[in-house]
Chains A and B, each alone.
Chain A
Amino acid sequence: AQKVTQAQTEISVVEKEDVTLDCVYETRDTTYYLFWYKQPPSGELVFLIRRNSFDEQNEISGRYSWNFQKSTSSFNFTITASQVVDSAVYFCALIGKTGIYNQGGKLIFGQGTELSVKP
């Protein structure tokens, strides 16, 4: 079975604090992709990053960074010097090459972490 767990339901920080959103996944596939999406209060889902299972290099994009560790099946997301505009629900998701969804690319979503950044 494939599963994505985001254990932190809600996180509240004060502006300029660093914050890490945790994501733990389960899959038996050796080939898979992990994603992070942002859902701001306006409701749309914004793609942030994709990482494939063969690339464990960390990635940094401005204030955002991602730490992928296959040994712990984790793909954590850190926001440095958080800002009020970072307030949103963040989803971690997985696509694995499994079963009947092989051709469909079914995204398995975690339950999301609601981040609130206060001024």
Chain B
Amino acid sequence: NAGVTQTPKFRVLKTGQSMTLLCAQDMNHEYMYWYRQDPGMGLRLIHYSVGEGTTAKGEVPDGYNVSRLKKQNFLLGLESAAPSQTSVYFCASSYSTLAGGPNNEQFFGPGTRLTVL
């Protein structure tokens, strides 16, 4: 099993450009998440999905869109990148959530380092 993979690993954008980050998991997990990690702020949830075809806003959703067309994939889009979106982006997945009890730990991808100039 590859677990959770993310592409690309690094990207540099100019202000106003758009891009899509791809997350894939091969663990048949229902739940998927996008976080951003900034110095001194830990990880913050951008968007999440509780199943194929569903998405929901997290803590810091502005400037991002997501799609979950297939169970194994969760895409994060930046329509018009801004320097404030310079960050490391992590995708995660889990078998269940708190409501489901055990097996609710989230498994993380290796991260995408994005710089917006």
Contacts and interface: CB of A to CB of B under 8 A. Distances in A.
Chain A partners chain B = yes
Interface of A: 4, 31-33, 35, 37, 43-47, 50, 91, 95-97, 100, 102-107, 109-112
A104 B106 contact: no
B9 to A, nearest CB: 9
Interface residues of B, number: 30
B97 A44 contact: no
Interface in B8-30: none
19 contacts: A45-B90, A47-B105, A95-B104, A102-B97, A102-B98, A102-B99, A103-B99, A105-B31, A105-B94, A105-B96, A105-B97, A105-B106, A106-B45, A106-B48, A106-B59, A107-B45, A109-B44, A110-B42, A111-B41
B107 interface: yes
Given A97-B99, A104-B56, A105-B98, A50 B104 contact: yes
B77 interface: no
Given A31-B98, A104-B48, A107-B92, 9 more contacts: A43-B110, A43-B111, A45-B92, A47-B105, A47-B107, A96-B98, A97-B98, A109-B44, A112-B42
